[in-house]
Amino acid sequence: MSLHPADIDTGIIFRRADLRGQQAEIAAHFSNVSDTRLCTSLSNDAGTTIATVEHLMAALAGCEIDNAVIEVAGPEVPIMDGSSEPFVFLIECAGVEEQAASRRAIQILKPKVAHIGEAITKLEPADVFSIELSIEYDNPVIGQQTKTVAMCADTFKSEICRARTFGFLEDVEAMRKAGLAHGGSLDNAVVVSGDKVLNDGGLRYDDEFVRHKILDSLGDLYLAGGPIIGRFSGHRTGHQINNKLLRALFADTSAWTYVTGVDVPLPESSLWAEAPAVAVA
């Protein structure tokens, strides 16, 4: 996979390097989400797919990248260590370029809610972007965890981007029997078995599980086509319900509006202070 700079108003585009022509490009947009089992997958009208985009999308959101073309030599974004940290590292090594245009954000004007079984997500008006999530697992290692983050670039890098995806040993074994997760290992996921974490070194945070759910949600929400100004909250969230919420939001034109430049109120540590559009250099 390689990341390339892109012109103003390009947005985030995935390009399958193993294919040619228009069938190779897929816009990173919630309307292109085609599968939410285990990860977020996108597809275009030609049926071309790209899977596991959420961790990279979270890195782009956290680093405040507006325009980039991501070339991937295959149907899936590399999993790396199961977090966003390797992508953040590569973006910072490459550097970013401020562009001659104001950033555009989506401001939430009225609450929107999505339900799937016991899972619930909500977007509601707020002055800044924040995420509050709670998770609940019948497992002594995870149990119930809740965390709230006022999201900005500094907070993402220091508190969220290192949180790894996780799963249970019995689920991994079942997935492999079904022909899935052959590349999964302790190098790219936290694996829980009963009351133990099997990874050497244990967890990166005591609440790494809910932090990763925040990471996933940030990546899914960045498929809105830009940063959101509003409060996102949820319980037992996942890729499917996150996408359902975005579809509900944009189906109601009275629930949101675009704002640009200095009209965008975000935390002081955010790069929005001068509000330039940003591309990977």
Among 74, 30, 89, residue whose Cα is nearest residue 54: 30
Q: How far apart are CA 17 and CA 73, in angstroms?
A: 5
Number of folded domains in the chain? 1
What predicted TM-score, i.e. pTM, was given to this entire model?
0.91
User: What confidence score (pLDDT) does residue 26 get?
Assistant: 98
Among 29, 26, 15, 30, residue whose Cα is nearest residue 70: 15
- Catalytic pick among 4, 29, 212, 239: 239
78-79-82 Cα angle (round to 5): 155
Higher pLDDT, 172 or 244: 244
For residue 199, the enclosing domain spans 2-280
Catalytic status, residue 239: yes
Question: What is the signed CA dihedral for 273, 226, 97, 162, rounded to 10 degrees?
Answer: 90
Confidence of residue 21 (pLDDT cuts 50, 70, 90): confident
User: What confidence score (pLDDT) does residue 275 get?
Assistant: 44
Confidence of residue 185 (pLDDT cuts 50, 70, 90): confident
Confidence of residue 270 (pLDDT cuts 50, 70, 90): very low
Residues 204-260: tens digit of each pLDDT: 999 999 999 999 999 999 999 999 999 999 999 999 999 999 999 999 999 999 999
Q: What is the CATH number of the domain that holds 235?
A: 3.30.1700.10
Average pLDDT over residues 79-94: 96
Q: With 90 as the cut, is the pLDDT of residue 125 above it?
A: yes
User: What confidence score (pLDDT) does residue 271 get?
Assistant: 40
